[in-house]
Amino acid sequence: MNSMEQDDQNNIRNEGEEPYSFIEEHVRKRPVDRRRFLWGALRLLLSAIVFGTVAGFVFVLITGGIGLSNVRGGVALRTESPERPESDGSGEMARTPTPTPLSIENGRDEAEDTKTPAVTSPTEKAGTAGEASASPAPDSETAAAGSKASGSRGENSGKKASRLTPTPTAEELEREAIHIYERFQSALRRIFEENLCHRVLVTSNGGKKEGVFGASDHPQKMVGLILGEDSRRLFILLDHLPEGEKHQVTFSDSAQAPAKVYASDPLTGLTILAVQLRDVDDLTLTVCTPAELGNSYGIHPGNLVLVIGTVLGEEGGYLQGSILSAERPYEVPDREYRLLDTDIHSAEDASGFLLDMQGRVVGIFSDRFKPEGTDLISAIPISMVKILLTNMINRKQLVSLGVMGRDISVEEAENLDLPVGIYVVDSLEESAALEAGIRTGDVITEINGKEVTSVLLLEEELYRHEPGDSLTVTLMRPGSEGYEEVTCEAILGPLEINE
């Protein structure tokens, strides 16, 4: 057996070897649990009753307390009728003195400070007058006190004003803005440098470069990520299939090792290279570790992202931007992806990976995902291809039904009077769908008795089958009297994967 045959045998996974897998995220609607719903409603009702009882009891205590405090403070409403004036014996009616009003604002009864003037003799009046003339007038004392109080208030207000933060100048604001920008750029640089240990440079011998005298051989360079490893191989993820037959991987510590194409998906272009662990020293394996795959379902418009790869046409470097949209469809047979569109401009043939602000991989971008007529970077979400990557690493043969479909949501079904399911846009030539009689306009609702309401669920169902398996497809077909249920039997064929 020659070395090439030996390598081919090594590329085939042993049957006893544990399958490789990634963490998978699924966005599913949680079914309604009626028992939990009724129990929650009962608990809510009991809580409302208890809360109402406690609130009423507290209200009674508070209002009772207010009434007692008003009586103690001497504040009470006068409800009795006025007393009848009495005679003083001289024939005249004695006048009842008018009560002094109470000051509620100061919180005390000022009537206590008011005294009834005493009757004095002329001599006492004179003495009193002399004392009054010798002492300063009450008005002058009041004025002096008012002047002191106003002076004190002025001093306090001056002290308060001195304690206020002064308004920053334009130069200070500019320096602060520059400082914040520098800190932000430092954080981005740190994220990039921390991910260097996961990144590799792949050089292939099949590249071409246009020159003055035509095309000439030129090494093709791509940036890849260490995806994972098993007992014998290190797996490298690329955004598309490299040209040529010889590939060399350069790690972040400058160590190099040969690599071979392990598997490639023809629909997305995603490619996995395999590097034999025996060709990599232990120190490199310790320093260069697999990248962390994030959850792209948590990425929304406005989120900041970092792109690494051949963004500006050459390897190395990074750019920062934000997500513009996470809903643009990218349709391929039996699948549908919702791309992550960014506001980051790139050079032609740019490729690489999208990172979130924690340095986790959330997307893979290449030219095929760009919006038509723009140079903006768009990426396929990593969470939507984890099952695909798992099957590629485990060398599972993928199957094909061969339909181009679009989801029909509940809202669209109600507005357009359509069934909920997958609207068949087209059935590919020589596909299992076309041979089973599935045609344009049909709406797929079930696969083998399981409800299928989206292309994503169809993709997940196909991953569970092998070539040659039979699928019972239930669909709704438009007729003269509306949609009619039709059942088809489809024999799945293999999806050709480049190896």
3-state SS, one letter per residue, for 58-118 = HHHHHHHHHHHHHHHCCCCCCCCCCCCCCECCCCCECCCCCCCCCECCCCECHHHHCCCCC
Position 309 scores a pLDDT of 87
pLDDT at 74 over 50: no
Same domain, 386 and 405: no
Same domain, 403 and 289: no
User: Please, are residues 97 and 115 in contact by the beta-carbon 8 Å criterion?
Assistant: no
Position 123 scores a pLDDT of 42
The reply to whether 59 falls in a domain is no
Same domain, 285 and 361: yes
pLDDT at 88 over 80: no
Tell me the three state secondary structure of residue 373. Answer: coil
Q: End of a domain among 393, 417, 446?
A: 393
pLDDT tens sequence across 291-325: 999 999 999 999 999 999 888 767 778 899 999 99
Q: End of a domain among 393, 412, 438?
A: 393
Same domain, 378 and 489: no
Same domain, 463 and 386: no
| Bridge partners, residue 306, by sequence | 320, 355
- What does the block give as tokens for 31? 């079914």
The reply to whether 485 falls in a domain is yes
For residues 249 and 225, give the distance between their C-alpha atoms in angstroms, rounded to a whole number: 11
**259 or 97, greater pLDDT:** 259
- What does the block give as tokens for 244? 């040529």
Position 91 scores a pLDDT of 45
Same domain, 386 and 410: no
User: Please, are residues 382 and 270 in contact by the beta-carbon 8 Å criterion?
Assistant: no
- Number of structural domains (the chain) is 2
End-to-end, the C-alpha distance of the chain in Å comes to: 21
**26 or 444, greater pLDDT:** 444
Position 19 scores a pLDDT of 63
Position 233 scores a pLDDT of 93
Position 204 scores a pLDDT of 87
Same domain, 345 and 443: no
pLDDT at 355 over 90: yes
The reply to whether 230 falls in a domain is yes
Same domain, 460 and 358: no
For residues 367 and 313, give the distance between their C-alpha atoms in angstroms, rounded to a whole number: 12
The reply to whether 129 falls in a domain is no
Among 43-47, 219-223, 229-233, 267-271, name the one with the lowest average pLDDT: 43-47
The reply to whether 317 falls in a domain is yes
Of the chain, the percentage scoring pLDDT greater than 90 comes to 35
Tokens 């919006």 correspond to: 371
The reply to whether 221 falls in a domain is yes
pLDDT tens sequence across 176-213: 999 998 998 888 889 888 888 999 999 988 655 555 55
Position 21 scores a pLDDT of 62
pLDDT tens sequence across 399-447: 999 999 998 888 888 888 888 899 999 999 889 999 999 999 999 999 9
For residues 203 and 197, give the distance between their C-alpha atoms in angstroms, rounded to a whole number: 18
Distance of CA 298 to the CA centre of its chain: 5
**CATH code of the domain containing 479:** 2.30.42.10
The reply to whether 118 falls in a domain is no
pLDDT at 119 over 80: no
Give the count of alpha carbons within 13 A of 193, CB side only: 6
Same domain, 409 and 368: no
Same domain, 198 and 276: yes
pLDDT at 115 over 50: no
**CATH code of the domain containing 262:** 2.40.10.120
Distances in Å between the alpha carbon of 249 and those of 82, 256, 289, 403?
A: 107, 6, 14, 37
Please tell me the pTM assigned to this model.
0.65
Q: End of a domain among 348, 370, 393?
A: 393
Same domain, 444 and 354: no
Average pLDDT over residues 365-388: 90
Tell me the three state secondary structure of residue 265. Answer: coil
**216 or 454, greater pLDDT:** 454
Same domain, 232 and 369: yes
Please give the helix or strand (H or E) that residue 472 lies within, else none: strand 470-479
The reply to whether 216 falls in a domain is yes
Range of the domain at 360: 193-393
User: Please, are residues 222 and 365 in contact by the beta-carbon 8 Å criterion?
Assistant: no
